[in-house]
Amino acid sequence: MIPPPTIQRGLLTLDRALFKKSVSVMAIRIPANMTMECKKALGTDLLLEPKIRNVIESNDGEKSRRLVLLSLAIKNKDLEGASEKTKEFVKGKGIDVTKAEFNIEYDHWTADEILRAILPEEIIDEAPSSFTTVGHIAHMNLKDEYLPFKHLIGQVILDKNPNLRTVVNKTDSIDTTFRFFKMEVLAGEDNMIAEVKESGCRFKFDFAHVYWNSRLHTEHERLVKMFRATDAVCDVMAGVGPFAMPAAKKGCMVYANDLNPVSYKYMIENKTLNKIKDNLHIYNLDGREFVRKAVEDLEKSGYKRPPEAPVVAKGKKGGAKASVPKPEPTPASTAAVEPVVERSHAFQTFDHFVMNLPATAIEFLDAFRGLFHGREEQIPEPKTQLPMIHCHCFSKSDKPDEDVRERVEAVMGGQLDRDTVKLHWVRKVAPNKDMYCISFRLPAEIAFASDVKRKFESEPESSDTISGTSDTALAEKRAKTE
């Protein structure tokens, strides 16, 4: 095995020349026309190291001869450490055994190996060579002890990943109004306009001013798979559209919103980028206001669920026969709790509400209390006709099912129908904190409640609040959850 790079503790500026090293190995000198025969005979006794050629020009000046480099395990001219097969081959062919040297440089080693040679010994056990890729950007989250070396770390990461052009670190400075942390460029271009492909869609956005988390791509796909092409979907905290765009491309009628004007701008741009036309409506409102506004606008539009195209299957003799369409199959762990039921009533509203703001989304659920007050006759079968709500949240509880459900019920002012509740684990965000998505059918007693006390109606907001959450409170929550 190639020895590690020379220790260079205390560097604050990267000097790649310091990592040049000469390595001595045993070799055999052969005529050039024996190269393939020799490599086949020696097998694993060859030098088999990544990025290192094991056949080089002879060091005796003979252009017709080659040096075949042997494994570092072979110690001397007696071929100690080599297999008997190799020894017999070399002896039988009368091949000369000699020493050779080759140079390895900075490019040979991985980012982790370089950083372990540079950083102080007391912090190398967790050398920060991992990052999240967002288009051409590497997004790091460096611990305090690594900050004195942040630019050196950024340059090493950039060097070792040719697909990257920019390396950034999340700073302690938090935008308390919208869903993003401010970023510091550690190395490369100061270019934060990223382009990402996910779920068959293209997304363009300013990573410095919107929220995007590449680790959530599985969750985005999971929920979109629940939606039928004929469903109406309301995305309350849509960001730049990781739920909204693929749902709209699938055929759903989508109303999507984000309070951040930069997210709103890029959602509009991404709609064009993905060639989505009239089935995606984009808003820039407070979340609670948007829930009410979207329901009203959907009704005013005269929305009617489009008929599902029949599935055509071939009969035994090759003839076609129509069959009843079925919902997309979904794994048991992510399936909607209730079977999909066709709705033929006159009043049609959203089938799904998505609320992907895990730090505070539960607080917005009060917007659903009384949302359909006075509509009781138009929604005669609420257990199948009221929408499903998918709300993301965090929990530190060892009983997350109870913890999340109780918090939801406290905000909504009523009990959930336990038969419709499903808590899905999304990911771990901290050693004692997990992200979840609770899905449930909006209960009739909450949907039709007459005591409507939503914050956007009863509490005027000051200029320094977002949806009833103060800057200080939101900053504290973001700092603890991301």
Q: At what angle do helices 35-42 and 84-93 cross, to 10 degrees?
A: 150
By DSSP bridging, strand 21-31 and strand 96-104 are antiparallel
Question: What are the distances in angstroms from CA 27 to CA 56, 131, 420?
Answer: 10, 40, 71
Is 259 labelled a binding residue? Answer: yes
Is 352 labelled a binding residue? Answer: no
Instruction: List Cβ neighbours of 138 (8 Å cut-off, separation of 6 or more).
Output: 131, 132, 157, 158, 161, 164, 166, 167, 168
- Classify the C-alpha dihedral 364-369-374-380 as positive or negative: positive
Is 258 labelled a binding residue? Answer: yes
Chain centroid to CA 430: how far? 16
Is 115 labelled a binding residue? Answer: no
Question: What are the distances in angstroms from CA 413 to CA 212, 352, 404, 407?
Answer: 32, 20, 14, 10
Task: Tell me how far apart the alpha carbons of residues 324 and 348 are, in angstroms, rounded to a whole number.
Answer: 22
Is 287 labelled a binding residue? Answer: yes
Which run of H or of E encompasses 288? helix 287-300
Task: Tell me how far apart the alpha carbons of residues 432 and 58 are, in angstroms, rounded to a whole number.
Answer: 60
Task: Tell me how far apart the alpha carbons of residues 442 and 369 are, in angstroms, rounded to a whole number.
Answer: 9
Is 278 labelled a binding residue? Answer: no
Q: Which residues are annotated as a binding site for S-adenosyl-L-methionine?
A: 220, 258-259, 286-287, 356
Q: Which residues are annotated as a binding site?
A: 220, 258-259, 286-287, 356
